[in-house]
Every structure is written in C-alpha cells, then in structure tokens.
Amino acid sequence: MIYEHSRVGRRAMAQAPSEKVEMAGIPDAMLRASQPPLPEVSEMQAVRHFTRLSQKNFSIDTQFYPLGSCTMKYNPRACNTLASLPGMLSRHPLAPDTHSQGFMACLYELQDILKIVTGMHAVSLTPAAGAQGEFAGVAMIRAYHDARGDKERSEILVPDAAHGTNPASAVMCGYKAREIPTGSDGDIDIEALKSALGPQTAGIMLTNPSTVGVFERRIKEIAELVHAAGGLLYYDGANLNAILGKVRPGDMGFDVIHMNLHKTFSTPHGGGGPGAGPVGVSKRLEPYLPIPMVDFDGNDYRWLTEQDRPDSIGRLSAFAGNAGVLIRAYIYARLLGREGMHRVSEYSTLNANYLLKRLMEAGFDAAYPERRASHEFILTLKKQAKELGVNTMDFAKRLLDYGVHAPTTYFPLLVPECLLVEPTETEAKEDLDRFVEIMQTIKQEAESQPEMVKQAPHTMPVRRLDDVRAARELDLAWKPGA
Amino acid sequence: MPFIPHTENDIKEMLATIGVDHIDALFDEIPSELRCGELDAIPPGMPEMEVSRLMQMRARADGQPLCFIGAGAYDHHIPAAVWELTTRGEFYTAYTPYQAEASQGTLQLLYEYQSMMTALTGMDVSNASLYDGASALAEAVLMAVRGNRKSKSKRILLPRNLHPTYRRVVHTIVRNQQIELVEVGYDRVTGSIDHAELERYSGEDFAALVIPQPNFFGILEAVDELTNWAHDNGMLAIAVVNPMAMAILRPAGEWGDLGADICCGEGQPLGAPVSSGGPYFGFLCSTDKLVRQMPGRIIGKTVDLDGKIGYALTLQAREQHIRRSKATSNICTNQGLMVTAATIHMTLMGGEGLQRVAAASHANTGKLTQALTSLPGVETVFKGAVFHEQVLRLPIEVTKALRALAAHNVLGGFDLSDDYPELGDAVLVCATELRNEDDIENYRGKLERVIQSQVQTPCQLKPDW
C-alpha cells in the first residue's frame, strides 16, 4: 500500500507551486479543517511503488492475452506517441473552430473511414465506450419509433448468449429485454424469434459473428423478419474484428451499430478503459445521432450541435467523448489503410481456426465443432470437469502459472464449462503452438495431479482470493489509523 | 505486413493444418451475396514516418493559444512521472482485472484510488470510475432514484447554475426512464442557487437535490444549508464537485449535519491533460448505505488461500455481466487508465500539493479578475465567493470579443451568451496555477485593444434586468 510509505511532512517537493498562498475572499467556514489524508511520499518512492505494481499485471505487452470477446491485440506505440503530441494534449475542448481544424480533420476522416468500413450512412464518434454506444443506439431506435407515433413498442430482443450490456442498455432506455434462445448449431433459433416478434418489438440486438464465435448465417432472413414486424436491427460491434473488410453490418441489414475502437481499432484497454464506442446508422436513423459530430464544407471543419441537429438524442458526455482514444484509432486506421483492414479479419480468423484445429487434435472439445471459427471460438471442458474433476476455472488459473492470460471463462452462459478463446491477428504461429502445448500439459497435470491444478495458480503474487469475504466484509478503502 | 507476424511459410502450414487452400476459404459461412469488395474509398496504409508527419502537421495547425477557458476542463501541471508510469505497457495494455491473481497491480492501484477519492471527498466509498463528470452525474441521479428509501419519486431538482452540458447529458441519459428534471434558478446577485425558489419546493416529493460546488459560474454554494434542506425534505443530496476544490474546501462528506449522500464529478483536474475533452474520468462516491446501488466496478480488499492480502472485483452482483437486465447500470469498460494517472498524480502531489495548486489557481483567477476589471466597462457579474473561475461582463459583444482575442492567440474564456442570455455579454474566465502574471497581462492588454477597436461601433448591449 502506498500509504505505508507515507510520513507526515514528506512530499514530492518539485511537483507543486513553491508556496501556499492565502485563500483570500473565501469564508473560513467553507474551507477544509485539515489537509486531505493523501499519501505523503517522495517522487522516487511513488515511482518505485507504481512500477512494482505494474509488474504484478499481465498485459498484452508482456503476455499472450487471448481473452475472448475483448480483442487483446497489439496496440501500436505510434498511436500513443502521436496522439500525445503537445498540440493534441493542450487543445482545450472549448477552443474555437479556428484553433481546432487539425483535430477536427482527424475526427472527420475517422467518421468517414468508419462509415465506409461498416457500410453505414452516417457515424457519430461521441459514445465513450461500447456500452454507451449501445445506449445511444437503443435510444435512437426509441427516438425513431416515437417520432413515428409508434409508441406501443416496448421490447428489445436479445439472444441468450448476448453480452450483459445488451439487456442492461435496453433497460436504461426504458425497454424490456426479451431473450431469444440459440439453436444447437450456434445460430439463433429462428422459430423462437418468429414467435417473439410482434407489434411490441422495438428491435433486436445482435453480435455477428455472435458471442458463440460463429457467423450468423441467416442474418438476411432475420433482418427481413424483424423489419417486417416493424422493428429495427442493432449491431453490437464487439466482434467487428472478425469481419473487417469482408462483410459490412450495413449490407447485412443493420439499422444501427456501435464499434469498440479499443478492440477493432487497437486503442489500449488501459486496465479497464478508456474505450470509445462510435455509433453508425442507416439513413432513417441519421437525424437521431448523438452530438457533437464534425462537418466539413470543403474548406473548414465545424461542430454539429443542437442547432444543426434538433432531433438528436442529445449529448452523452461534457465534451466530445474520449477524444484521445479517437485520435489513436484514427492513427491506427491510417497506418493500416484499406489493405491493412482486410488483413485484420484475415489473420485473426486464420489464427483462431488454426488454434481451434490444433486444440481439437490435442483432445479438446469445440462447442460447435461443425462450424467455422470466426476470430474466436469456444472450447467446452465439460468432459475434463466430469472425468477429472478439474473445471474451466482451474484450467484458467493454471494457464496463469504458464505465463498466459486466461481466455474468457464461463461466457457465454449457455455453453457449460466454456473457454472463449480469441488469439487476434498479431500473435505469431509459435505463440499459438505454445498455447496448445501448455493446454496439453495442463490436461496431463489434471490427470496425474488434479489437486495441484485445482489449487492453481502457484506462481502469481497471490493465490486464489476469497471473493466471498471480499463481498461480505467490505473493505473498499484504506482509512487513516487502519 | 505491419503488426502481423505471419511468414509465407507460417500461412502455408497453418492453412494445411486447418485443411483449406487459402485464407478466404475461412469466410465460407458468410453468404456470398453479403460479401463486400475492396474498401477503395479508404486511403492506403502509410508507414509510421508519414503518419507521424501528418499528425505533427495536424497538431501544429491548432496552435498553442494562451488559454483562459475552464468551464469543466482545467489546465493544471502534471508531474512528468504520471504519464511515464501510466503508459507502462503493464498498465496501458491490460484489461479489466477479471483474473485477479494476474491483475494485482491494477486491482491494488484501484483500491488505492478508491482510498484517495474517499479521502478527498470525505465520503465512505468510491467506485473505480465512470466515463466523465457529466455521465457520472447521470448515474448519480439514477442511483438516487433507486436508493432513496424515503421517496418513490422520480423527480430531481437540478440547478440552472450547474454546467449546461451536464444538464443536457443527464437529460439524454435518464429521460427514457421517466425521470423528471426540475430546474432551480440562481440568485442574480450572488450567482448561487436561489434559496427562495428552492423553498417553493419544500414539502414536495423529490428523490434528490443536486448541489454543485463550485457551480458553473465558479461561485461557492452554501452547501451546509442546501444539504440540510434536502435531508429535511426527504431528498438525497448529490454533490457535484471539482476534485481540486475538494483539496481546500470542506469535503462533501462533511456538508450539513449528515453529509452529502452521493458525490460525483469530473476527475480531469487530477492528472489528465485537457486534450480536447477526453479521455477524462467520472468519479462517484457515496455513503456506505448506498454502496449496493452503485454502478460500475468496485474493488475490495480480501485475502488469498494463505491469508495473504489481495484485491478483487467485488459486489459484482450489481453489474451487467452478472445481473444483465437488472444491473445498476450498463457500464462495462470504464476509464481505468485515467484513474491510474489520477492515483499517481494524487500520490505525487499529496494533500499539501493539491492545496497549493488549488490556492494558486484561486489567487491567479483573482489577479486575472482584477486586471480585466481595471478596464473600463469590464465588471464582475456576481458578488459570491469563487473558487477559480469568475463571470465577467464586457462592454462589447462577447462573441465578437472572444473571436478577436482568438485571432490574437488568446482564448479569453467561455462565452455564456448562448446558455445564459439573461447575463448579457458575459464570459466565464479561469486562470489556473499555470497562467502567470505575464500571461494575465498579455490577456489584459489584448482585451484593452479589442475593446478600444470595437467600442466605437454602437454594439454596446446592457442586459435588460
């Protein structure tokens, strides 16, 4: 704990103004009685403490990180360096357009690139993350129905395998979320969909390839069914990496989409964020896009605001969303160019299918063995759990001992004992081969010394943590005197 | 191929293992009529040195004007170590700490962050961040509606002197849940919440009163009185604060007899550059009592199998990945990296350092006010005490004046004439600790010339109240 290095009167002296001036003109009763109890440490102590903390993390820069559905690919350093140029960092968000043309040019071009690559009619960059993009998307669906006086639509359909954000976003927009089952082949259960559709249907939220790692083959039919019922289609861009430059959500019949730039456009995940979740729409939803957006008249760039876009669902953040993340995505897109975008889907799909094939050969079961993997795939360790008593969580924890971040575990919920594996396009063949060897080794360990595997990890800074205690005896902050 | 390590030979071997002839065969489940062709409209890829040249040019194009705008984003000094450490790959390229044993760095750091935010705000608990200050307020409003046990009301009192964009964002986010935002005006003399107008709602059923400190005009509110008033009327008190102000002003947890119930705001002043508005981070703190209504990630301290201290995501049953449609919020990805920077920033500054920055910003804004009001016709609009922003009225049309100043590379403040037309030609100015006396003199001199050049034209408008 940083507070352990704290001593009264010790400070990183170089970091603050050299003297404390009086707070003139403020009544004493409004002032704080004592200094806030923050750590009092030297600069070196702080640097050492946080450097050591960083070393307790797995990260893309240090480990293979095949966390399914999160697209943990290499984040090019140039994106950070160039987005951190002084002119970029020092630009105030309320600077006038005359002092914003360079910044706005980047955003405008990014809007265009995202439009083209997704086949949508228009894009707004402002949502701060995927879930905020979902919120914006569903809010636009609602605005569309409301504008038509179509006020009886009360349900958003979501597959049972959907990300939890989907139903949560629907509810935040005042809708009920209704689940549609997935068929045994991994595609949506069309008959169930048909019987769920009706005059109460506002729309459906789909990820394609879906969260079970396969391409929804009957998407055209689904789009026709939903549209015929008067509903709209929402595309969750969590898996856009799989289809970049191969098939576009707009061509599949989607009316509104979000993209996760921290996945597909390789902006950093930052230990939990920031992300960026731009939304794209078809022509009929264009008036409702969240603001601000950037416009270009051939000479100058300018912000589109409430005055220009009176039907917009409104603003989602104080300024223009996670601008610095958008700039990183723009730089990535320029580095890749059109040919690089095709490669993203090609090599992420090649890696996933290769890894799946090798794991199947090594005796692991695919959840959907008859299907082509997309950029990710699901293994089910049902057999190992039953025969050896070693479950998916045990495998996941043991992987950490071998220096590999675990794939996503127990998601989607409908596949028992599952691992969702997403290798991404930036991993080399030898690293995939090594993952297969490690999985084989763990399987052997599970046979010969199951207790050891069930106790894993053994080499991390801590062993398995008591989650029950964390929730029951809540300790959420260090308090002075503790 | 940039960022793709595959050799020709790798590709051949991998395809052979899979049992297909070429990569495109891997997309055979996509109906062919849906396939797109080349993305011709996207420019071809560029090597790093060319992209570098482009971005240098773009960054230069925006100049580096002398900036006196605050209005929700504040230019403070950030110690060099903050971003040196924050951009270490182990922080920069990790994700949400789902595997706790392999994420103790991020988890412990977030626990330290939660500790520091509770220290700063005087609240019991903090979450691990939301997107930004405006969306954090929207979440606080939703949390208050869920968490107020005395009231089933879905009405919220929202003062007009709260940041106008925050009010818009709250509206966007809560409107579809039938939550009603009722505006409370401000006192035209002091600039603070109009207590007489507030009193009209006494005895009515509301879920919460939102109390900014400072408010959008930079003015300090009578937070004790407002907090007690809210509690006396069965409402929760939601504090929206500048965290830098919390270093020197009485923290939200100590407002009135019981303290604020929820405290949220924009974390940007704690280590994030102004950078065009983001990424920043929203913070959200509350009393213990409300912790189960909180949105977002929360980190708890616990022990491992050997009894060794460790940190883990906790109370996850509030969250979308467990509770789905019944979650407290849809938030998943938050602003982890910005919180990493803020934690390091608060550590390096300490309580004393933040107080010095807050005091210097307060003093500099005082000097700026003095310098500008020495010009004929420039006056302060409100009488109330301020933190580090001030509303000034100009003797000429404010929009034109700011444009003229910008042409001379001075960003003279935030034009209030759109959001508060009743104030006339009013501008909100801010001078943080980074604006020195030369900068202030530079602004004064240029404004003097702008006024002189425009005062001849008959555009002098007095507000009509």
CB contact under 8 A, B277 and A317: yes
* B168 and B305 housed in the same domain: yes
Q: Give counts: helices (H), strands (E), chain A.
A: 15, 13
Non-local (6+) Cβ contacts of B286 within 8 A are B123, B124, B125, B143, B261, B262, B263, B293, B294
The token pair at A231 is: 């509903």
CB contact under 8 A, B362 and A85: no
Asked if B368 reaches chain A (Cβ–Cβ under 8 Å), the answer is no
CB contact under 8 A, A476 and B301: yes
CB contact under 8 A, B4 and A220: no
Instruction: Give B57-88 pLDDT, tens digit per residue.
Output: 999 999 989 999 999 999 999 999 999 999 99
Q: Compute the count of residue pairs across chains A and B with CB atoms less than 8 Å apart.
A: 686
The verdict on residue B23 lying in a domain is: no
CB contact under 8 A, B108 and A53: yes
Instruction: Give A387-406 pLDDT, tens digit per residue.
Output: 999 999 999 999 999 999 99
CB contact under 8 A, B249 and A24: no
Please, are residues B263 and B250 in contact by the beta-carbon 8 Å criterion? Answer: no
Asked if B45 reaches chain A (Cβ–Cβ under 8 Å), the answer is yes
pLDDT band at A344 (very low <50, low <70, confident <90, very high): very high
* B451 and B339 housed in the same domain: no
Give chain B positions within 8 Å (CB) of A131.
Answer: 320, 330-333
Q: Give counts: helices (H), strands (E), chain B.
A: 14, 15
Residue indicated by tokens 């950093």: A268
The verdict on residue B462 lying in a domain is: no
- Residue A208 confidence (pLDDT) above 90: yes
The verdict on residue B6 lying in a domain is: no
The pLDDT value recorded for residue A13 is 77
Asked if B164 reaches chain A (Cβ–Cβ under 8 Å), the answer is no
Please, are residues A175 and A138 in contact by the beta-carbon 8 Å criterion? Answer: yes
Instruction: Give A281-291 pLDDT, tens digit per residue.
Output: 999 999 999 99
Interface of B with A in 439-458 (CB under 8 A): none
* B303 and B426 housed in the same domain: no
Interface of B with A in 198-217 (CB under 8 A): none
The pLDDT value recorded for residue B45 is 97
Who has greater pLDDT, A9 or A209?
A: A209
Q: Write out the residue range of the structural domain in which residue B437 sits.
A: 66-73+350-455
Is residue A213 left, alpha or beta, with left meaning phi > 0 and alpha meaning psi from -120 to 50? Answer: left
Q: Which of B344, B372, B406 is the last residue of a domain?
A: B344
The pLDDT value recorded for residue B43 is 97
Please, are residues A57 and B363 in contact by the beta-carbon 8 Å criterion? Answer: no
The verdict on residue B189 lying in a domain is: yes
Beta strands B125-126 and B282-286: pairing type? antiparallel
* Host H or E run for residue A140: helix A130-147
* B292 and B374 housed in the same domain: no
- CB-CB: which of B169, B343, B407 is closest to A315? B169
The pLDDT value recorded for residue B47 is 97
The token pair at A395 is: 């495998």
CB contact under 8 A, A92 and B73: yes
Please, are residues A275 and B342 in contact by the beta-carbon 8 Å criterion? Answer: no
% chain A with pLDDT above 90: 95
DSSP, residue by residue, A439-459: HHHHHHHHHH-HHHHHH--SS
pLDDT band at A15 (very low <50, low <70, confident <90, very high): confident
Q: Which of B294, B336, B335, B338 is nearest to B316 (CA)?
A: B294
CB contact under 8 A, A272 and B97: yes
Residue-wise pLDDT tens for chain B (465 aa)? Answer: 789 999 999 999 999 999 999 999 999 999 999 999 889 999 999 999 999 999 999 999 999 899 999 999 999 999 999 999 999 999 999 999 999 999 999 999 999 999 999 999 999 999 999 999 999 999 999 999 999 999 999 999 999 999 999 999 999 999 999 999 999 999 999 999 999 999 999 999 999 999 999 999 999 999 999 999 999 999 999 999 999 999 999 999 999 999 999 999 999 999 999 999 999 999 999 999 999 999 999 999 999 999 999 999 999 989 988 889 889 999 999 999 999 999 999 999 999 999 999 999 999 999 999 999 999 999 999 999 999 999 999 999 999 999 999 999 999 999 999 999 999 999 999 999 999 999 999 999 999 999 999 876 554 444 444
Q: Which of B385, B379, B381 is nearest to B451 (CA)?
A: B379
Q: How far is CA B301 from CA A456, B106, B464, in A?
A: 20, 13, 58
Strand partners, A393: none
Q: Which of B239, B237, B68 is nearest to B162 (CA)?
A: B239
CB contact under 8 A, A334 and B46: yes
> What is the nearest CA distance from A247 to chain B, expressed in angstroms?
5
Give chain B positions within 8 Å (CB) of A84.
Answer: 83
Residue B102, classed as helix, strand or coil, is helix
Give chain A's mean pLDDT. 96
Cα A456 to Cα A459: distance, rounded to the nearest angstrom? 8
Give chain B positions within 8 Å (CB) of A79.
Answer: none
Give chain B positions within 8 Å (CB) of A346.
Answer: 23-24, 26
Give chain B positions within 8 Å (CB) of A133.
Answer: none
- CB-CB: which of B55, B315, B338 is closest to A471? B315
Cα B18 to Cα A358: distance, rounded to the nearest angstrom? 8
Give the CATH number for residue B425. Answer: 3.90.1150.10
Strand partners, A408: A420
* B335 and B371 housed in the same domain: no
Question: What domains sit in chain A, N to C, each tagged with a CATH number?
Answer: 78-335 (3.40.640.10), 346-467 (3.90.1150.10)
* B340 and B358 housed in the same domain: no
Instruction: Give A303-334 pLDDT, tens digit per residue.
Output: 999 999 999 999 999 999 999 999 999 999 99
Cα B334 to Cα A191: distance, rounded to the nearest angstrom? 37
CB contact under 8 A, A338 and B38: yes
Give the CATH number for residue B320. Answer: 3.40.640.10
The verdict on residue B170 lying in a domain is: yes
Give chain A positions within 8 Å (CB) of B90.
Answer: 54-55, 57, 59, 61-62
pLDDT band at A479 (very low <50, low <70, confident <90, very high): confident
Q: Which of B344, B379, B409 is the last residue of a domain?
A: B344
- Residue A335 confidence (pLDDT) above 50: yes
The pLDDT value recorded for residue B457 is 54
- CB-CB: which of A57, A163, A214 is closest to B103? A57
Please, are residues A270 and A278 in contact by the beta-carbon 8 Å criterion? Answer: no
Q: A18, A59, A430, A467: best mutation site toward chain B, by most B Cβ within 10 Å?
A: A59
Give chain A positions within 8 Å (CB) of B353.
Answer: 11-12, 15-16
Measured in Å, how far apart are chain A's first and last C-alpha atoms? 12
Cα A466 to Cα B303: distance, rounded to the nearest angstrom? 6
The verdict on residue B10 lying in a domain is: no
% chain B with pLDDT above 70: 98
| Average pLDDT for A344-352 | 98
CB contact under 8 A, B89 and A248: no
Strand partners, B339: none
Q: Which of B321, B344, B367 is the last residue of a domain?
A: B344
Residue type, B415: D
Please name the residue of chain A whose CA is at the shortest distance from the CA of residue B329: A168
Name the DSSP letter for residue B443: H
* B267 and B359 housed in the same domain: no
* Count of structural domains, chain B: 2
Asked if B357 reaches chain A (Cβ–Cβ under 8 Å), the answer is yes
Q: Is the ipTM of this complex over 0.95?
A: yes
Residue type, B356: R
* B190 and B323 housed in the same domain: yes
Cα B450 to Cα B400: distance, rounded to the nearest angstrom? 9
